[in-house]
Amino acid sequence: MSRDQGPPRTGPGEKDVLVGFLDYLRASVAAKAEGVPEPQVRTPGVASGTNLLGLVKHLTHVERHWLLGEPVSDWKATFHPAPDETAEEVLAAYRDTGARANEAIAELPAADLRWRLTHLIEETARHAGHADILRELIDGTRGR
């Protein structure tokens, strides 16, 4: 069993704190999907069909929508990676989106982002918890 990491140290400003926690959660979600072989990375672990790769893909679309202004026409579809998408591709897209989102965040005042960043922290934390459970069901891995 691995030990959980404590919350991140952040800068003193509101935006520093919000982005610091979002980055911490992004890394947690990505770590849960890293190194999981096919087909387990996309195999549903619960009756709803939730799977690790689908969570990462969904969170990529969430950030693109809320921070980069990209429209989403079907939120349910964002949970389903295409059969030809590899875990490496989905994870790379998630990391790239996070980097692009952080660039967009840097350009705006914290007050303009407060709700969106708080929502993304809540959404990412909720799905990080789902990913924790799914990964433990797959191979027993626990902790961040």
Per-residue pLDDT tens over the stretch 47-105: 999 999 999 999 999 999 999 999 999 999 999 999 999 999 999 999 999 999 999 99
The owner of tokens 């959404």 is 123
In whole angstroms, give the CA distance from residue 69 to residue 91. Answer: 20
Confidence of residue 28 (pLDDT cuts 50, 70, 90): very high
pLDDT for the residue 22: 97
Six-digit token string for 83 = 């059969």
Q: Measured between alpha carbons, how far is residue 137 from residues 60, 68, 75 in Å?
A: 23, 33, 25
Round to the nearest angstrom and report the end-to-end CA distance of the chain. Answer: 10
Residue 39: burial class (beta carbons within 10 Å; 0-12, 13-18, 19+): exposed
pLDDT of residue 110: 85
pLDDT at 3: 57
pLDDT value for 1: 43
Structure tokens at 96: 């790239």
What residues contact 95, with CB distance under 8 A and at least 6 apart? Answer: 26, 30
> Who's near 68: CB < 8 A, 6+ residues apart?
97, 100, 101, 104
In a 3-state reduction of DSSP, which class is residue 108? coil
Measured distance CA(29)–CA(130) in Å, rounded: 9
What would the pLDDT profile of 110-131 be if each residue is shown by its tens digit?
888 999 999 999 999 999 999 9
pTM of the entire predicted model? 0.93
